[in-house]
Amino acid sequence: MRDQRSQDKPADCLSGSHRAADFHAMDWFGNPVLRDLLTVLNADGACTRIVGGAVRNALLGRPVNDVDLATTLLPEQTKAAAAAAGFKTVDTGLSHGTITAIRQVDGAFQAVEVTTLRHDVETFGRHAKVAFTDDWSADAARRDFTMNAIYVDQQGELFDPVGGVCDLETRTVRFVGDPDDRIEEDFLRILRFFRFSAQYGNGILEPAGLAACVRKRAGLASLSAERIRKELFSLLVAPFACDVLRAMESYGLLSDILGTVVSVDVLCRLAMIEEHQGYDVDQVRRLGALVPLTSLDQRGLKKRLRLSNSQSEALAAAAKTAGILRPPAGIADVTAALYSHGRRPVLDGVLIDWSKSDVRENDDVWIDLCARISNQPVPEFPLGGRDLVDRGVPEGPQVGRALRRLEAYWLQRDCIPGKVELLQQL
Ligand code: ATP
Ligand code: MG
């Protein structure tokens, strides 16, 4: 293994920013639930440290959302210690040594995952045969990337057995150990390599890791749709999505995963437009920019990525609205589109159209169209079935037919006629 350090020696390659990282000044580190849990899990000679995303994000100055702990306690000991301190415990993955400790604070639940130090004896995809250990280096060695194997103890001191801090400083996503071996243990690590590079890298992929991902790409076929979707969706909206997706596609990896042709250029243009205009970044919209949106492709993607109903509906809606509005569309066109499809799908469709055109992200005409889609009120048809029945239309199918006719009349007149005028048309 590269750059193996003795288990308790603080990292010696900290630059100014990381040496100055004062965990005690960070809100999440001072969270009373975490403090209490660390206190009980560090009593009587046990050693428990924070690891993974929390440490990585804290060192990068990014928000810390969830905290994972690694402990020398065996799972049953962890459960007993946490329960004695008033935590509820859930057996999240007991065979892998993971429990979740939960406490209710002000009506809200706070949960921390605690995993016993382990090394993976045999790995088959997500199912590993594990052995518990008290060796921190062994625990680091079973983790995927060096930047995910940095530990911080209760006192705020760093432990960095595989050189994660140096790699974090250079934004290098590096496999712990031999990349080919690590990928063979779990092919999801191919996607995690690209996803983490897009989230935490700098647009340059670590060459040994990249080469191994390309060599082992056939293993992607063995992954479940859910695992692929989760990684891919995080990757699509990551800061370096464009560079990383380009690199993936230069080896044909993206088309392989998605089962269709892809256009990374369109996605990159969409990313530039979103940034220039300050739009929220959306996973499904980005997917819609990456692939053709024929119904065949939509069906294929729904199955391949096991999209949720709301995700496939959003994709279908973006497909439907593609091509319906082009600059310079008038106010009435925008109004009709907003009424028929809703604001979000119209904006998605127009942004994707814009990205597919050769027009730059600072083009005033497209900017104006998108601003009108965002700001124009979505019109409401002023009549309901009740209004017609009150006016003597017999209840039943005739009401629906009359409403549709009046709606068409209203749409032809740019949604301007009010209730009175419409009822006069009856
Ligand atoms: P985030 O939660 O922000 O996606 P994270 O690093 O916390 O990032 P998790 O998926 O929550 O990621 O996993 C927690 C830690 O478990 C990781 O930091 C890593 O050390 C280890 N890990 C997770 N998945 C794998 C995997 N497939 N192979 C090896 N180690 C893994
Ligand atoms: Mg996490």
CATH code where residue 65 lies? 3.30.460.10
Same domain, residue pair 44 and 135:
yes
Per-residue model confidence (pLDDT) at position 181 = 96
What is the number of the ligand 1 atom nearest to the C-alpha of 66? Answer: 2
Q: Cα separation of 264 and 248, whole Å?
A: 10
Quick one: how far is CA 150 from the chain centroid? 22
Q: Nearest C-alpha to atom 8 of ligand 1 is from which residue?
A: 53
Residue 2 binned pLDDT confidence (cut-offs 50, 70, 90)? very low
Same domain, residue pair 152 and 269:
no
- Tokens 């243990």: give the residue: 185
Model pTM?
0.88
Check pocket membership of 186 for ligand 1, CB cut-off 6 A: yes
Check pocket membership of 321 for ligand 1, CB cut-off 6 A: no
Residue 1 binned pLDDT confidence (cut-offs 50, 70, 90)? very low
Same domain, residue pair 333 and 266:
yes
The number of domains in the chain is 4
Exposure string over 227-261, b if 16+ CB within 10 A, otherwise e: bbbebbbbbbbbbbbbbbbebbbeeebbeebbebe
Same domain, residue pair 104 and 31:
yes
Out of 142, 144, 168, 190, give the residue to mutate to test ligand 1, the one with the largest number of ligand atoms within 8 Å of its CB: 144
Same domain, residue pair 360 and 406:
no
Same domain, residue pair 282 and 227:
no
Last residue of a domain, one of 170, 197, 219: 170
| Residue 149: domain span | 1-170
pLDDT tens track for 65-103: 999 999 999 999 999 999 999 999 999 998 899 999 999
The answer to whether the CB of 70 falls within 8 A of the CB of 51 is: yes
Same domain, residue pair 217 and 142:
no
Same domain, residue pair 130 and 10:
yes
Per-residue model confidence (pLDDT) at position 44 = 93
Please compute the mean of the pLDDT values over residues 148-162 and round it to a whole number. 96
Last residue of a domain, one of 170, 188, 203: 170
pLDDT tens track for 357-393: 989 999 999 999 999 999 988 999 999 999 999 988 9
